[in-house]
Structure 1
Amino acid sequence: MIRPAAARVLFGNWTGHSTVPSRSLYPHQWSWDSAFIAIGLRHLSPRRAQVELESLLGSQWADGRIPHISFSPSVPRDAYFPGPDFWRAETQAGVETSGIVQPPVHALAAWLTHQADEDESVRRSFLQRVYPRLAAWHTYLRERRDLAGRGLVAIVHPWESGMDNSPAWDEALARVEPAPLDSFVRRDTDHASDDDRPTDLDYGRYVQLAATYRDHGYDDARTPFAFAVEDPCFNALLIASEHALATVAEELALDPAPHLTAAADLTHALGQLFADGNFHARDLRTDADSGVGVGRLISADTVAGLVPLVVPDLPQADELLVTARGPKFRLGEARMVPSYDLTGPEFEPGRYWRGPSWFNTAWLVHRGLVQLGEDELAEAIRAEVLELAATTQFAEYVEPFSGAAHGARDFSWTAALALDLETTG
């Protein structure tokens, strides 16, 4: 059983109100990490899972966005870069945060957390308190981040995808003039191998993009985004969370129709990103323009294109399954789900999001397979997650052929999602 070891990781990384992804590499609260953590934590302590999400929502901005990092005042200010002194962002409640966001899996996590102990959830008015915040979060994304006006949400930094170093971002990033290397000090390579992490050049570009957004007051209408991309994973998770929020609304005797309409509209719009058997990100910038333009699909095949399997009644599901089983991802043969096309020119089996398999995306694909009735393939993914979590000391990610561990160990979402799959079957 994985439960005792997973509990050791999750309780060991608990800070009293939230869970850090990793004590060394990621010592604060991260947005989509906390959502995944709550999904597993609900099997150990439903109340603690509720507090995890409530704590994250306590860092929400007045405009509805949930920032990707909520900084802990108990951690040294220079322990992580970019830290609070770089972002210079603070909520009305005095919480220091970053200024960008991460994929919106939170409403799904909230509903699953409620289901773990409905009596405790009702006693604490959990859904009543988180629902308006989650609705505001979705409204921010749909209204402020539809940069092209075609019904899809855009990300404005690779970190917002959650898949920071994906080959899908290479061409768009190449247009960004990087911040000088002597203008910042990386902290990630203090705790992980250089070979596993993004290059200094790419990191300089990440820093420049964040600084430009910061210097324009994190204003989505005013910032001249050098990077603006419609990501299929981000939009698919918003669809799944709109469906979850509709269920929450029904539970609270509220009207679910606005969420179901939003989910249907997003599902229709998502079809714009489907080509050649997979969903592809769309780059909204070109070398020739100075703002958001018509854009074009990015050719890279990544796991972000498979995540739409979680979307209920996805019209492209059958074609997507063919791609998932094919040579690019070899679902059922490779270890879990590779993050990038195994036959692609930029494939690197051990470098951050450029080929390795991750536990959170495996969990999402597994969920999609279960919805589609693909029980045999779903069980194969589940078995891989449980085996690799146990044998790698809950590694951050693994090589897709050997299963060799990379990144941090005792990684919280690895422990949480393995626990969830062991418990729910």
Structure 2
Amino acid sequence: MKTLLNRPAPTAPSPLTLRRGAARVLLDNWTGTSTVPSRTLYPHQWSWDSAFVAIGLRHLSARRAQRELEALLSAQWADGRIPHIVFNPELPLGAYFPSPDFWRSSRAGRAAGAPATPETSGIVQPPVHALAAWLVHRADPELSERRGFLARVHPRLVAWHDYLLSRRDLAGEGLAAVVHPWEPGMDNSPCWDRALARVEPADTGAFHRADLDHGHPADRPTDLDYGRYVRLATDYRTAGYDDRTAQHHFAMEDPAFNALLIVSELALADLARHLNLPDQPHRDRAAALTQRLVTRLWDERAGQFLVRDLTTDSLVAERSVSGLVPLIVPHLPQDIVDQLHTTLAGEHFTAPGTRLVPSYDLTGHAFAATRYWRGPAWFNTAWLIHRGLRTHGLHAQAQRLRTGILADAGRSDFAEYIDPITGAGRGARQFSWTAALTLDLLCAPDEEPDS
């Protein structure tokens, strides 16, 4: 199998064609207040999707990018959490499941600080938001100052990180935990299989999967997986979404989730410095998180970071792209950077059909080329790894990955993800974060990541 370093370069559409196509996707998916990931499969606002969308939108309209993040933050709970879905009240309940009447955020989450409106989910997604806010500010500092953008979002982002580092430090060891497979954003990764096997699934007759109305069953999680997702969400809702009292039957420390928290803490430090506020506490917190990430989640034999299952207090022996995303962390030990690079270019993650990084080990027992996060290669994780390669001075490797991202985005009509074996686009087309991150790579190729 050819490695990332010697695979021939794919052919990409012209930059102008790509830019126009990506801009059209974002315009078509704009609702007037925010951007939906997909008009068919995901018709509401998703948390980390909007962060990635804002990163791309800043090159078209910094004002709209600011509004994207402001719309999401307007649904923040009083305890600091940013919910993973903000529901559009104009859509019918059947447009997506789980729907607002399942989550019942304004009632079940009242004690935890859910807003009366809009209705939201009760769980979260990875904390990319402070990084997005800082990049959006830098796109047009004058506009940002005039609108008071940073001054308004800063306290909300601080509250978000405080929530993750207090209520979600379930092990008391300094890392944030996720309590549902949807929270790390890699929904049905094989990393969750063993933990999910301990969960009694909800009866499949008790819910209707709207995702199968628009997605092929071979691409989507199984009914058994979905039944377990529903059970976990139902139990969390019954506990009033209160992390202090909920009995978490699924609790994991995810490397990508915590790596993004580190990078966003550093972005918060930059925000604070710009606002003449103390920035050192954020830098200290990022340093402490980096140390805990290495201590708790690094696995020398795997050559990458692994998920920790808090129920068994053990690392999960599954290689996934989540364990490579920590390349974005600036101050990793050099030997870990070297090993991550070796793993990235080796047999586990070098796919024959794409330069993008498969979501799961190509040689793994649970690999499935088309089933959601069990093998397909995603554009957002590729963008994060591209940023990580640049962070650590691996510019030639970053450029090769960038070339592959742009080629695959263009030829797949901005697909949700890519089959790593055949290179075919899968999932939804005209997917917002694919378009947004394509724009970012086109328009900011020389922008250095902060360190």
TM-score higher than 0.5: yes
**Aligned-partner residue type, residue 250 of structure 1:** R
Q: Do 2:22 and 2:435's aligned partners in 1 also have CA atoms closer than 8 Å? A: yes
- Specify which of 111, 121, 124 is matched with residue 98 of structure 1: 121
The yes-or-no answer on 1:17 pairing with 2:37 is no
Q: Do 1:181 and 1:204's aligned partners in 2 also have CA atoms closer than 8 Å? A: yes
The yes-or-no answer on 1:307 pairing with 2:333 is no
**Aligned-partner residue type, residue 19 of structure 2:** R
Query: What residue number does 1:279 align with?
Result: 305
Q: Do 2:354 and 2:408's aligned partners in 1 also have CA atoms closer than 8 Å? A: no
The yes-or-no answer on 1:257 pairing with 2:280 is yes
**Aligned-partner residue type, residue 239 of structure 2:** H
Report the Cα offset of residue 332 of structure 1.
9.8
Q: Do 1:332 and 1:377's aligned partners in 2 also have CA atoms closer than 8 Å? A: no
Report the Cα offset of residue 94 of structure 1.
1.6
Q: When the two structures are superposed, what TM-score results if normalisation uses the length of structure 1?
A: 0.97
Q: Do 2:354 and 2:404's aligned partners in 1 also have CA atoms closer than 8 Å? A: no
CA distance in 1, matches of 2:252, 2:211: 25
CA distance in 2, matches of 1:333, 1:370: 23
The yes-or-no answer on 1:363 pairing with 2:383 is yes
Query: What residue number does 1:403 align with?
Result: 423
Query: What residue number does 1:170 align with?
Result: 193
CA distance in 2, matches of 1:403, 1:384: 11
CA distance in 2, matches of 1:166, 1:418: 25
CA distance in 1, matches of 2:352, 2:226: 34
Query: What residue number does 1:222 align with?
Result: 245
Report the Cα offset of residue 330 of structure 1.
2.0
The yes-or-no answer on 1:70 pairing with 2:121 is no
* Percent of aligned pairs sharing the same letter: 62
**Aligned-partner residue type, residue 318 of structure 2:** A
Report the Cα offset of residue 92 of structure 1.
3.0
CA distance in 2, matches of 1:310, 1:92: 33
CA distance in 1, matches of 2:141, 2:116: 29
CA distance in 2, matches of 1:190, 1:92: 30
Q: Do 1:87 and 1:97's aligned partners in 2 also have CA atoms closer than 8 Å? A: yes
Report the Cα offset of residue 95 of structure 1.
1.1
- Please give the per-residue CA displacement for 1:343-369, whole angstroms capped at 9, x wherever unaligned: 101111111000110000000000000
Distance 1:331 1:368, change over 3 A: farther
- Please give the per-residue CA displacement for 1:272-297, whole angstroms capped at 9, x wherever unaligned: 101121100000114xxxxxxxx100
> How many aligned positions are there?
417
Q: Do 2:252 and 2:309's aligned partners in 1 also have CA atoms closer than 8 Å? A: yes
Relative contact order, CA 8 A, sep 6+: which one is greater? 2
Runs of 4+ more than 3 Å apart:
331-334
The yes-or-no answer on 1:381 pairing with 2:401 is yes
- Specify which of 78, 89, 94 is matched with residue 105 of structure 2: 89
Report the Cα offset of residue 335 of structure 1.
2.7
Report the Cα offset of residue 313 of structure 1.
1.4
Report the Cα offset of residue 219 of structure 1.
0.6
Matches within 5 A, 1:2-401: 2-90=18-106, 91-271=114-294, 272-275=296-299, 276=301, 277-286=303-312, 295-315=313-333, 316-330=336-350, 334-401=354-421
Report the Cα offset of residue 401 of structure 1.
2.8
CA distance in 1, matches of 2:241, 2:97: 18
Q: Do 2:353 and 2:422's aligned partners in 1 also have CA atoms closer than 8 Å? A: no
**Aligned-partner residue type, residue 285 of structure 1:** T
RMSD over aligned CA atoms reads: 1.0
CA distance in 2, matches of 1:203, 1:332: 30
Q: Do 2:348 and 2:361's aligned partners in 1 also have CA atoms closer than 8 Å? A: yes
Report the Cα offset of residue 5 of structure 1.
0.6
Instruction: For structure 1, list consecutive stretches of 5 or more residues without a partner in the other structure.
Output: 287-294
Query: What residue number does 2:5 align with?
Result: none
Q: Do 1:359 and 1:414's aligned partners in 2 also have CA atoms closer than 8 Å? A: yes
Q: Do 1:357 and 1:400's aligned partners in 2 also have CA atoms closer than 8 Å? A: yes
Q: When the two structures are superposed, what TM-score results if normalisation uses the length of structure 2?
A: 0.91
CA distance in 1, matches of 2:74, 2:154: 13
Report the Cα offset of residue 334 of structure 1.
4.4
Q: Do 1:17 and 1:55's aligned partners in 2 also have CA atoms closer than 8 Å? A: yes
**Aligned-partner residue type, residue 282 of structure 1:** R
Report the Cα offset of residue 323 of structure 1.
1.0
Q: Do 1:332 and 1:380's aligned partners in 2 also have CA atoms closer than 8 Å? A: no
**Aligned-partner residue type, residue 141 of structure 1:** L
Q: Do 1:395 and 1:407's aligned partners in 2 also have CA atoms closer than 8 Å? A: yes
Instruction: For structure 2, list consecutive stretches of 5 or more residues without a partner in the other structure.
Output: 1-15, 107-113, 446-451
Q: Do 2:165 and 2:176's aligned partners in 1 also have CA atoms closer than 8 Å? A: yes
Report the Cα offset of residue 120 of structure 1.
0.4
**Aligned-partner residue type, residue 359 of structure 1:** F
Q: Do 2:54 and 2:68's aligned partners in 1 also have CA atoms closer than 8 Å? A: yes
Partner SS, residue 127 of structure 2: coil
Q: Do 1:335 and 1:399's aligned partners in 2 also have CA atoms closer than 8 Å? A: no
